[in-house]
Structure 1
């Protein structure tokens, strides 16, 4: 049986390692860089404290079957955003699932499902009324089996800006 545990600030380095593996699996490109150090610092800070909006669940790796390993096997992270309540979202709380990744050594064992289910359970306990995510084609069947469906919003726009660069 897979038993996820809550991610802790001291897991930050491993969460970033898994994040890098996730990006590699998505497009086949390895992208080391400063972002890793910045992401580790942000994860450590954002996982700390009782009011942390970054929530994560992890599965510890194992060596020789059951002995704990110094690495994580899998993770699922999520963020809680609090917006103004609305008729459709009375709590105003919206969750976003991201950084769902399983180390290649542990794939195919249900780790992504276990960590994502734990995350969704925590969201529900905190009154999160809606949960969004972006899925790769390979992950769509998992998310559909957990109840996710296509967004009802016909148009989604993103704006990406480099820090310090504003409109002309």
Structure 2
């Protein structure tokens, strides 16, 4: 039996380590170490401290490594304006599903995803989105996720500079 638990503040550093595992799987290379890691740790510590907040993480501990995580699933609830297909406007977004390579194919991510989906249900969320890697697609399809074609676009803004009035 797989024991999934809700992540706590002390799990933040391990969650960021597993985020690196997930980013490596998505992009084909390990992310470079940098300030992003400490910022992510602090963000997680702050967000995990609020048990009623809009972020939840579920983890599976390594059976042979106390204090280390084998897998994690992290998601948030975003509040947007409601519409006909989602009157509340609440949308779940799964943004970090990762399992250490030596612990894959044991059902850890599936168990974590089921726990996260249960959390969304408890919170009244009826729509959940995620970005899937090729390796993750079969799991997500088995859980009921369907691919969507959407005209999603992205703009990356540079950091605001004091006294800047923006583009001219």
Q: Normalising by the residue count of structure 1, what TM-score does the alignment of the two structures yield?
A: 0.90
2:63 aligns with: 62
- The question of whether the paired residues in 2 share the 8 Å contact of 1:81 and 1:95 is answered with yes
SS at match of 1:70: coil
Paired residue for 1:160? 156
Q: What is residue 113 of structure 2 aligned with on the other side?
A: 116
Superposed, 1:33-48 pairs within 5 Å as: 33-48=34-49
Q: Alignment length, in residue pairs?
A: 163
Offset at 1:26?
2.2
SS in 2 for 1:62: coil
| RMSD over aligned Cα atoms | 1.5
Cα deviations across residues 9-50 of structure 1 (Å, max 9, x unaligned)?
A: 111000000001111222232221110000000011011124
1:154 Cα deviation from its structure 2 partner: 3.5
Structure 2 Cα separation of the partners of residues 2 and 9 of structure 1:
21
Q: CA deviation at 1:161?
A: 1.8
Secondary structure of residue in 1 paired with 2:66 = strand
Bigger proportion of residues as strand: 1
CA distance in structure 2 between the partners assigned to 1:15 and 1:154 by the alignment: 30
Look up the match of 2:5: 5
C-alpha distance in 2 between matches for 1:78 and 1:59: 15
Q: Does 1:91 align with 2:92?
A: no
What is the SS of the residue equivalent to 1:98? strand
Aligned equivalents of 1:51, 1:72: Cα separation in 2: 23
Match of 2:124 among 110, 124, 127: 127
Corresponding residue for 1:52?
53
> Tell me, which stretches of 5 or more residues in structure 1 are unaligned?
none
What is the correspondence of 1:12-31 to structure 2 with a 5 Å cutoff? 12-30=12-30, 31=32
SS of the aligned residue for 1:137 comes to coil
Residue 164 of structure 1 deviates from its aligned partner by 1.8
**How many angstroms does 1:86 deviate by?**
2.0
